[in-house]
Structure 1
Amino acid sequence: MSTPPFLPLIDPTAGPLIRSLALLGPVLIPSALLSAVLPTLPPASSYFVQTSSTDDVVSLLNNGAEKVVIDLGQLVELSGQLSRERLIVRVAESELEWVKGQLESAGGVLLVSEQAHSPESLALTNTTVYLQPSQIRPEGLVSTIRSSRPSCFVLPTSLLTNGATSSSHLSVADAFLAPIISDRPDGLFPTIVSSAENGTALGMVYSSRASVAEAIKSCQGVYQSRKHGLWRKGETSGAVQDVVSIRTDCDSDALLFSVIQHGSGFCHLPQATCFGELSGLARLETTLKSRWESAPEGSYTKRLFTDDKLLRSKIMEEAEELCDAQSREEVAFEAADLVYFALTRCISKGVSLRDVEAALDAKSLKVTRRKGDAKPKWEAKVGGDVKPESKPTEPVPAAFPESDGAVKMRTVTLASVSPEEKPKLLLRPVLNSLAMIDKVKPIVERVRREGDEGLRAMTKQFDRAELSSNIALPPFATPSESQLPADVRQAIDQAYANVKAFHVAQAETAPLSVETMPGVVCSRFSRPIARVGVYVPGGTAILPSTAIMLGVPAQVAGCKEIVLATPPRPDGSISPEVLYVAQLTGVTCILKAGGAQAVAAMAYGTKEVPKVDKIFGPGNQWVTAAKMLVQNDTDALVAIDMPAGPSEVLVIADHTANPVFVASDLLSQAEHGTDSQVVLVGINLTSAHLEAIEQQIDVQARALPRVKIAREAIKKSLIVLVDSVDEGIRFSNEYAPEHLILHLENSSGAVEKIDNAGSVFVGPFSPESCGDYASGTNHTLPTNGFARQFSGVNTLSFQKHITSQELTADGLRKLGPTVVTLAEREGLEAHANAVRVRLAELSKA
């Protein structure tokens, strides 16, 4: 592929353009803007950095910069230290002649010039010239770019636009297409579309200048149909494409679109590509992704996905067999086995082949590397210290204890953790949110496309329930005594009463009214959100408590429609506990569906399922990703409560803490799911006290019915040892836990220092379980550190506020001149006039 025709120089105005520019090739980032710009770049984007610090060059290259722009003095300092291909030297045209010899040690020249030059005209070999005219005028720049190839123009983003070229701005599409030529009578460009995930060619289409401009602007697959004009791929079928990159070939007469394909696929025939089915790694990845979503229980692939010890053992086994293989056929056979199990591991963690390739590319950019020797345990193994006949089980890192050993958390001392490593302690063991959104897109699009029929099909696939209707409407059947024993019913009634009492107290009973100045009264009043959806998970546990926590505030707030979504049981029925809560809370529709498909049905509505205005409720990462996806779709016009994820708890314990209580609190969250995380912050704990807590975790975990789930969660969890309560609370505030439990000598006094938490449980007799079920507070809380920005669900979550203002004639006389002055200052004459005409009328009175 050829060098891009222009290199965008990022400035503070670039925000809306960055995603489009990253499609077309590298972007140039001043080092001062690097920390702000990098998070906004799409994954695996290519970028150059311009820096004035020689000390930063190696670090920038190691951390992912493809090239670094430096001045001539820096080049001299770095002579012989780095590959010349990674350095671009910035020089003024007046300096060029006398420094040409030194530029041969650089891979590029950034020339500040009044005119275009080619490498040949400058007598520079094996280098690329980047031109930065000192005065840039959009008029005529397209033809200048075209004629200056293979040089590349450096253009500040303040000059660029995704709109049309004007006297002040140059269209990004026009700049990119400047060197493109077509030998076809219709002026179209042959375009190969390939998968960004596995590199497979999906098909061949045609592009026009208009279609490329639209693709760049929307970052979606848009092409030119020779029969029907502009063709937005997937506009009707839902099989849309996210464009990852657009490149030209070496002759600048053809294009390559690298895309992430969603939905049914690219080809109109029932096959993966227009050239037939996938093969090799692409085929394996597609198969494993499908199995990850729907592998039947008991199948070998399902075992690999759910039994971490089995998969780990198989990877080690196949790696050893590959090392022992000798013949060409044996090496190929064993390598294929290793790739299968390694890719299974990747898919189970949300990692695609594209992610692996991106990691390889990132590694290739490093200019300094560690020695690369094997770790001692592997050197000893290969050296023969371990006899084959007595080979022990492979050792497992401390962070991942053997599943048949002690249920044990990893321990770190905060004071010994480096500043660079400390942020890693705050990370949650969850999949990449962007990767999860890509996974749920096809599910959401299927519900939009197929409506109730698609929803029923997915309920049959995922929940093994065959339904005649997706919904149930009131009056709901009252569960019998055998279905819902009296003690359970009474417990639900008590929890409902407590939660309702606390949430009724939160409701605003009267409007807020303030006279901001004589004759000017401003008011604020609340109104319920008319239609709400509440999601009640039903995967590994039945959760009537969540139905209470979401149904009660919706009922108290006065919402007119309450749609409760929950997965049905295999016979199509709803658990009697959830059904009973639906009756208590006035639910108007039960949606018998779970997962991303339930979220999509509530967001967009179907013939059976009412569309809602806001969706509430916790769930797994599929549910969370679907909520985040629909809230950003203007077609859905739906809000969500918060981006909630897997459950979590942080316990702060000092010398007064009861080890039995502490262990029980940690395990109460660990049993939620394998992706839950629990953290213990120990304040000056003695080794004996810490050992007692760890022993209780192991003993209590083994007695739990959900011990396997708790064990997997504990593997990923953490004990952080600190020296003081203040240090422990600082760590907690940085972590921002969903649940915070205080086992402290003065727990009540510590509450005033808590800045970030979903809900706080104060003292030894306030277990998190009480808040989860019946104390009165809500258990739908922010996770993943979002307690920094979000509150837990409450009555006001189901309401919105409307403001009003009423001015008397005297009030307008006093306030009017102020409004006129400000409106005139902003150049909004109609605003000013709306006041003037009234003041004029008042002056006649």
Structure 2
Amino acid sequence: MFPLLPQVSSVTVPAVAVAPGKVLVSILQSDVPEIAKELKKAFGQAQFHIMADTDLSTDEYIHLLDAGASSVFVSGESAVDLAASGVPAGRLTVIGSKPDNLDVGGVFLKDTPALEDVATLASTFAKQLLPSGGAPVVYVNVEDPKAAADLAATGATVVVSSAKLTTEHQADKLDDKFPIADLLLASLSTDRQDGLYTTLVTDVLNQSLGLVYSSAESIKEAIRTGTGVYQSRRHGLWYKGKESGNTQKLIRIETDCDGDCLKFIVEQTGAGFCHFNTESCFSAAQGISCLEKTLQQRLQNAPAGSYTKRLFDDSDLLRAKIMEEAEELVEAKDAEEVSWEAADLIYFAMVKVVKEGVSWAQVMNNLDSKHMKISRRKGDAKQKWVDALGIKRQKVDEKPKEEKKEEKKEEIKEDGKIQLNHINADTASKAEIETVLARPAQKTSDIMKLVLPIVEGVKTGGDKKLLELTEKFDGVKLESPILTAPFSEDLMKISDDVKASIDMSIANVKKFHAAQLDTTELVVETQPGVVCKRFSRPIESVGLYIPGGTAVLPSTSLHLGVPAMVAGCKNIVLASPPRKDGTLSPEVVYVAHQIGAKAVVLAGGAQAVAAMAYGTESVPKVDKIMGPGNQFVTAAKMYVSNDTTAKVAIDMPAGPSEVLVICDKHANPAFVASDLLSQAEHGVDSQVILLAVDCDQKHLDAIDEELHAQALALPRVDIIRKCIAHSSALSVKTMDEAFKLSNQYAPEHLILQIEDADKYVPLVDHAGSIFVGAYSPESCGDYSSGTNHTLPTYGYARMYSGVNTGTFTKHITSQQLTREGLEIIGPAVMTLAATEGLDAHRMAVKVRLDAMKKE
């Protein structure tokens, strides 16, 4: 619909996107909290879009989308961030050019291009369907409304200042403004000889009222008057209800996908739309619409003492009936009973709706608003109902995995109990057990679309692009992207306690990894005179990625750096995102100094991986990249390792960090809880699993109590709360069953809090690292015991080892043949070469054997 925009407090509205049912609202950054409350109320069922005066944060954009905005108009960089946060492509409109490899719902051309260019782009977009359906839209900013009609005719959606538009269409009333109707007409087409447009008329609930025709003149009058005006093929302009009194308020106008059919959405008054004084020219209203009208009538004239009148007058009775019917629906078993009880519940709910003066259209608007939300709630019942029904623990749901993928942003109740989801393996279905052991889904193809432009940007743009991305993602503007050795003392000021702890950890890690160093030369004489050798050499240049994000990780720098130093790598380069002041954690710089690193790259994410893989003006290229990171770091590592122009290897693929604890009835609940929490605090996507072997309910409750109490005392409790919300405890009867499930899961960290733990280690086939016994917490391996904490995650422990000294070395083989040796194996070599048709291979041996015969 095209009336001038409604006024919204705290909102500036300088522009309207001129297309059926669409409005574009421009807001000020400071208005975000207030506007979210008012948008849906102001625009009702209209399709509205948001454009801020400056780029907002990801959370603010999502807040506006949650409020019902169909899309947000954002920069290309913000579109990449929002897509990575789970915002569907169709909800993003990019201002300017579309980022490569990123689907979006449209582009907004602020600077109006040539008409033919707009037509070409609109035609191209019409053929590029989005994953969720529909095609991208071209929005064109138009300063001169008189030129807008031509642009609208190309299929583009034109954006014109509302101050320049009018609902009037008569020349003497335009006052230098441009008729909105002319813009709509420019986007329409018809193949009828009389030039009319087929028009479907519906009410606000989308129920068909009738089929009519519209002309250019009737459309102009409908927009001018804000009423239903159509074209009668016999009587000319038809102002609906002018004679009968059954008038219509025009809510909005929509067009179909081809622009040759109109849809008028109206509020009908009087007896109805049809000339037979019925509501519709088609069948009478059914279902909710019929129920709503019946209840509205009975609210006005139901006889005293009637059941419906009692429900309207007695709030306690109505409340009781709603709760009664809800319980009966919950207890219904078969399809017939469920449908019957659901109908009863809807009836009493509608009595409440009508009694409170709420329309079903408002309910539908709220349903639509919930559908438009990006943020997702976890969906737990309120505690009073949990207590009333005797539910002690939340059970793992059996929703399809595809649905679970959409639940990326959970709203966790801040004062709820922090406890695991409990499942009994004896009574659980196979699907429930698989759900417990399932990792968080990673959409590799979607992530790669976002990572590829970043990697290619650094590859071609060097330092300049790296600094731009560091400013964008880390919020800090740097002069140089790198620190080079020797590092200033000012950059590594740490307390004596921290220094001593790091020094001890380095010594232990060095001792364990030095023992792994292969310094021997393997020599085997396979035949007399044929000597084969194998020996190791260090990888010359290595890049070590040290995550930043929600935690500072100097431990990762020493667990990667010490093996590199022990292996003898000549060039060790670290990369880690800078802090807001542009500096690095002094602990990381201290470790870099201790391991003899040549440089530290001040960058994180995919851009840091790209800088080390390809090299820049300042960042030296490396031969192999190691280290954990988020899904963007992992995707970048996978990409560069497959790019032959990069000539770089990686340690292993990775996912979010994870722990699996096996405990028995002898395990100390406080110890078990502490091990689970030490993993949960890494991040909300970390995975925590407990396999409880032959534990009774009292023991499980004690673990939950410890988990909750310890978590509340931790500074990262908010992260822990969200992590534990999707973590589970699985009760099993036997050790054999526990280790079978553990090997199926192949955890990064496996903790054995069981009696005689060491005797069960032979049962472990797949794990990154094992922590044996009650006094071997994961924390010790993460820091100071000596083993490496950079381990395979996401099930890759089935085929990858954790980082070790061998990760930083390669093996070379050699062979040396004497005359005797060549005489022995030469004939076999010649025969096989001839079999493969490689005559030059055969000749290399033959010329030597022939020469030997002549001597």
Could you say which residue in structure 2 is the equivalent of 1:116? none
| Change in CA separation of 1:651 and 1:521 when aligned onto 2, cut-off 3 Å | same
| Change in CA separation of 1:690 and 1:255 when aligned onto 2, cut-off 3 Å | closer
State the one-letter code of the partner of 2:520: A
Find 1:465's aligned residue among 446, 455, 476.
Answer: 476
Q: State the SS of the aligned residue for 1:695.
A: helix
Could you say which residue in structure 2 is the equivalent of 1:410? 421
C-alpha distance in 2, partners of 1:405/1:474?
50
Find 1:823's aligned residue among 833, 839, 846.
Answer: 833
Structure 1 segment 419-458 matched on structure 2, within 5 A: 419-458=430-469
Could you say which residue in structure 2 is the equivalent of 1:536? 546
Contact 1:621 1:645 in 2 (8 A): yes
Contact 1:479 1:580 in 2 (8 A): no
C-alpha distance in 1, partners of 2:141/2:392?
47
State the one-letter code of the partner of 2:100: A
Contact 2:711 2:720 in 1 (8 A): yes
| 1:106-142 C-alpha deviation (Å, 9 max, x unpaired) | xxxxxxxxxxxxxxxxxxxxxxxxxxxxxxxxxxxxx
Q: Verify: 1:673 aligned to 2:683, yes or no.
A: yes
Q: State the SS of the aligned residue for 1:415.
A: coil
C-alpha distance in 1, partners of 2:436/2:835?
51
| 1:672-719 C-alpha deviation (Å, 9 max, x unpaired) | 001001111111011111111111111111111111111111111111
Find 1:612's aligned residue among 607, 613, 622.
Answer: 622
Q: Verify: 1:571 aligned to 2:581, yes or no.
A: yes
Contact 2:656 2:793 in 1 (8 A): yes
Find 2:852's aligned residue among 822, 837, 842.
Answer: 842
Contact 1:529 1:559 in 2 (8 A): yes
Find 1:661's aligned residue among 642, 658, 671.
Answer: 671
Contact 1:436 1:625 in 2 (8 A): yes
Displacement after TM superposition at 1:431 (Å): 3.2
C-alpha distance in 2, partners of 1:792/1:800?
16
Contact 2:140 2:156 in 1 (8 A): no
| Change in CA separation of 1:277 and 1:591 when aligned onto 2, cut-off 3 Å | farther
Contact 1:410 1:717 in 2 (8 A): yes
| 1:722-777 C-alpha deviation (Å, 9 max, x unpaired) | 11111111111110000011111111111111110000111111111010001111
| 1:458-487 C-alpha deviation (Å, 9 max, x unpaired) | 212222211000001011012489x31101
C-alpha distance in 1, partners of 2:652/2:526?
34
| Change in CA separation of 1:255 and 1:827 when aligned onto 2, cut-off 3 Å | farther
Contact 1:737 1:757 in 2 (8 A): yes
Structure 1 segment 796-815 matched on structure 2, within 5 A: 796-815=806-825
Displacement after TM superposition at 1:407 (Å): 0.7
Q: State the SS of the aligned residue for 2:518.
A: coil
Find 2:509's aligned residue among 492, 499, 514.
Answer: 499
C-alpha distance in 1, partners of 2:416/2:607?
39
Could you say which residue in structure 2 is the equivalent of 1:78? none
Structure 1 segment 310-709 matched on structure 2, within 5 A: 330=362, 333-334=365-366, 337-341=369-373, 343-345=374-376, 398-399=395-396, 402-479=413-490, 483-709=493-719
Displacement after TM superposition at 1:415 (Å): 2.7
Structure 1 segment 151-166 matched on structure 2, within 5 A: none
State the one-letter code of the partner of 2:464: E
C-alpha distance in 2, partners of 1:454/1:609?
12
| 1:780-815 C-alpha deviation (Å, 9 max, x unpaired) | 000011000100001110111111111111011111
Contact 1:507 1:795 in 2 (8 A): yes
Structure 1: state its 5+ residue gaps. 1-195, 203-233, 244-253, 280-319, 350-374, 379-384
C-alpha distance in 2, partners of 1:488/1:278?
60
How many residue pairs get matched?
A: 526
Displacement after TM superposition at 1:615 (Å): 1.0
C-alpha distance in 2, partners of 1:200/1:519?
71
| Change in CA separation of 1:242 and 1:507 when aligned onto 2, cut-off 3 Å | farther
Could you say which residue in structure 1 is the equivalent of 2:53? none
Displacement after TM superposition at 1:241 (Å): 7.9
Displacement after TM superposition at 1:421 (Å): 4.4
Contact 1:238 1:445 in 2 (8 A): no
Contact 1:241 1:260 in 2 (8 A): no
C-alpha distance in 2, partners of 1:376/1:507?
53
C-alpha distance in 1, partners of 2:712/2:760?
33
C-alpha distance in 1, partners of 2:671/2:743?
22
Greater displacement, 612-621 / 628-637: 628-637
Percent identical among aligned pairs is 50
| Change in CA separation of 1:692 and 1:447 when aligned onto 2, cut-off 3 Å | same
Structure 1 segment 122-201 matched on structure 2, within 5 A: 198=90
| Change in CA separation of 1:473 and 1:340 when aligned onto 2, cut-off 3 Å | same
State the one-letter code of the partner of 2:719: I
Find 2:100's aligned residue among 239, 246, 249.
Answer: 239
| 1:571-609 C-alpha deviation (Å, 9 max, x unpaired) | 111111001000001111110011121112112221111
Contact 1:471 1:590 in 2 (8 A): yes
Contact 1:563 1:591 in 2 (8 A): yes
| Change in CA separation of 1:328 and 1:765 when aligned onto 2, cut-off 3 Å | closer
Could you say which residue in structure 2 is the equivalent of 1:787? 797
| Change in CA separation of 1:632 and 1:331 when aligned onto 2, cut-off 3 Å | farther
Displacement after TM superposition at 1:423 (Å): 2.9
Displacement after TM superposition at 1:824 (Å): 2.0
State the one-letter code of the partner of 2:716: R
How big is the alpha-carbon RMSD for the aligned residues of Structure 1 and Structure 2? 4.0
Contact 1:522 1:803 in 2 (8 A): yes
Please report the TM-score for the alignment, with normalisation by the length of structure 2: 0.56
Contact 1:429 1:716 in 2 (8 A): no
Displacement after TM superposition at 1:328 (Å): 8.9
Contact 2:139 2:156 in 1 (8 A): no
Q: State the SS of the aligned residue for 2:573.
A: strand
Q: State the SS of the aligned residue for 1:819.
A: helix
C-alpha distance in 2, partners of 1:340/1:395?
33
C-alpha distance in 2, partners of 1:574/1:405?
37
Greater displacement, 434-443 / 461-470: 434-443
Structure of greater Rg? 2
C-alpha distance in 1, partners of 2:139/2:837?
54
State the one-letter code of the partner of 1:840: D
State the one-letter code of the partner of 1:441: L
| Change in CA separation of 1:376 and 1:694 when aligned onto 2, cut-off 3 Å | closer
C-alpha distance in 2, partners of 1:820/1:605?
45
| Change in CA separation of 1:331 and 1:634 when aligned onto 2, cut-off 3 Å | farther
